Amino acid sequence: MSREPNYFNIGLFLLTAALLLVVGVVVFGTGAVGAKKIRMESYFDESIQGLSVGSPLKYRGVEIGRVESIDLASKVYSRQLKDEQINKYGKYVRVVTAVDPQKAPESLLDKDNLSETNLRVRVTAQGITGISFLDVDYFTPAEDYPVLEYSWEPEYKCIPSTESMMNSFLSKAEDIMKEFSKVEFGNISDELNSLLAKTNQAIDDARIKELSDNFITLTEDLTSTSENARNLIADLDESLKAGELKELQNSAIDTLEKIQASANEFDKGVASFDELCNNANVLLEYKESQTESVTVPELLQELRNTLTRIRTMAASNSRSIEKLIDNSKRLTDKLNDTAEKINQQPSTVIFSNPPEKSEVLK
């Protein structure tokens, strides 16, 4: 006679086997067996909302470990803290992580005191799900990311922490709002209204409309004057082109040439007269040596006086004529220079300054 099967024992066996299978898959799948983990800890002086046991620890996006425990630092190290220190460090949150040495960077494992490096860990939100993870990275300059102070001896190697991006943003926004609240908007509004009133009054006092009308009138007058000046310059250009000034210059040159020719002829006459006088003197001297008459010396003396006066008059006239010729040449040169300047720049006749008064007229 066969015994009936015990279904309870069979069910219990199957349930135990399934549970062991699930545990094995989880343990071996996560690499918890056969892998040596290195524990490290960090302290945070802020809320770590969204972070929990099992949350990833990443180095620049690469997962190198997981969160193993989360506690208050004052509870874990209460024996090393005094009462006043508990009040100071009681807000610190201690997070212990298990780091896989096969994945972690050498800079994280080899350095004993990570506070001397720029390596920091911070809580980072993962999308908009509210879940967070720990992100390890280098932050420079190091003085902008100070290390939290603590007075106890850490159980594991400590990874210095820094403020999370969200908390940093909120802190900066709070600081801005505090500074913004100090601004006295009432006084600014009053000052602005006063400034606008003074500006309006200044505009009214300045009589902008009258100034604008006067400026328009002045512009019209200047336009008319400029047009007249252009017409005058055009007339002067036409006169120059017609050759009137050139004819005047040529006439002056012809006159001076005639004066020069007359002066040359006069010089020749004076020279001939001087030669004649010299010959007469020689002759008279000879005659004087040959005669004994009393009346001859008197006659010779009178003749010498007459010749002397003639020479003096001739010399005086010669210098006057030379001076006249020299002045005429200077006048011709000035006329030539003036004509050349007028040909090159006709407008100087109108817009140039009047000449200074002569010293003789003064």
Provide DSSP, 234-266.
HHHHHHHHHTHHHHHHHHHHHHHHHHHHHHHHH
Residue 111 predicted with pLDDT over 80: yes
> Residue 111, Cα to own-chain centre: how many angstroms?
49
What band does 123 get if pLDDT is binned at 50, 70 and 90?
Answer: very high
Identify the pLDDT of residue 180.
73
- For 184: left if phi > 0, alpha if psi spans -120 to 50, otherwise beta; the answer is beta
> How far, CA to CA in Å, does 273 sit from each of 84, 211, 280, 315, 325?
140, 83, 10, 11, 22
In a domain, 329, yes or no: yes
pLDDT given for residue 361 in this prediction = 44
Same domain, 248 and 139: no
Of 123, 139, 173, the domain-final residue: 173
* Sequence-ordered list of residues with C-beta below 8 angstroms from that of 120, at least 6 positions apart, any chain: 136, 137, 138, 139, 145, 159, 160, 161, 162
Same domain, 221 and 166: no
3-state secondary structure of 56: strand
What is the pLDDT, as a whole number, of residue 7? 72
Continuous segment of H or E residues that includes residue 350: helix 348-351
Strands 62-72, 56-59: pairing is antiparallel
pLDDT average, residue stretch 252-272: 62
234, 250: one domain: no
Whether residue 140 is found in the same domain as residue 234: no
Judge whether residue 66 has pLDDT over 90.
yes
pLDDT digits (tens, 9 = 90+) for 210-240: 767 777 887 887 787 778 777 777 766 666 5
Same domain, 340 and 248: yes
Task: Inform me whether the pLDDT recorded for 1 exceeds 50.
Answer: no
Domain that holds residue 330: 243-351
Distance CA 311, CA 308 (A): 5
The conformational region for residue 345 under phi > 0 = left, psi -120 to 50 = alpha, else beta, is: beta
pLDDT classification of 294: cutoffs 50, 70, 90: very low
Collect all residues with Cβ–Cβ distance below 8 Å to 99 and sequence separation of at least 6: 37, 38, 39, 40, 57, 64, 65, 108, 109
Q: What is the pLDDT of residues 304-329, one digit of tens each?
A: 666 666 666 556 556 666 666 666 66
143 within domain boundaries = yes
In a domain, 23, yes or no: no
**pLDDT above 60 for 204:** yes
One domain for residues 82 and 102: yes
Identify the CA nearest to 99 among candidates 162, 149, 36, 173.
Answer: 36
Judgement on whether residues 147 and 249 belong to the same structural domain of the protein: no
Asked if residue 143 has pLDDT above 70, the reply is: yes
Return the higher-pLDDT residue of 312 and 26: 26
Residue linked to tokens 């100071």: 88
Q: Quick one: 219 and 169 in the same domain?
A: no
Structural domain includes residue 184: no
pLDDT tier for residue 114 given thresholds of 50, 70 and 90: confident
pLDDT digits (tens, 9 = 90+) for 164-189: 888 777 777 777 877 777 777 777 87
Q: How far apart, in whole angstroms, are the C-alpha atoms of residue 271 and residue 318?
A: 10
Q: What's the mean pLDDT in 154-169?
A: 86
| Rg of the chain (C-alpha set) | 62
Same structural domain for residues 205 and 293?
no
Residue 354 CB: number of other CB atoms within 10 A? 5
pLDDT reading at 200 higher than 60: yes
For residue 83, is pLDDT > 60?
Answer: yes
- What are the start-end ranges of the E strands in the chain? 38-44, 56-59, 62-72, 93-99, 119-125, 132-138, 157-158
Q: Is residue 11 part of a domain?
A: no
CB 349 within 8 A of CB 240: no
Structural domain contains residue 4? no
- 141 shares a domain with 209: no
For the whole prediction, is pTM greater than 0.75? no
Note the pLDDT of residue 291.
47
Given a cut of 60, is residue 118 above it in pLDDT? yes
218 and 267 part of one domain: no
Specify the number of domains making up the chain. Answer: 3
pLDDT at 293: 46
Residue at 114 is within a domain: yes
Residue 71 is assigned to a structural domain of this protein: yes
At 267 the pLDDT is 63
**Is residue 277 domain-shared with residue 294, that is, in the same domain?**
yes
- In one-letter notation, the amino acid at residue 142 is A
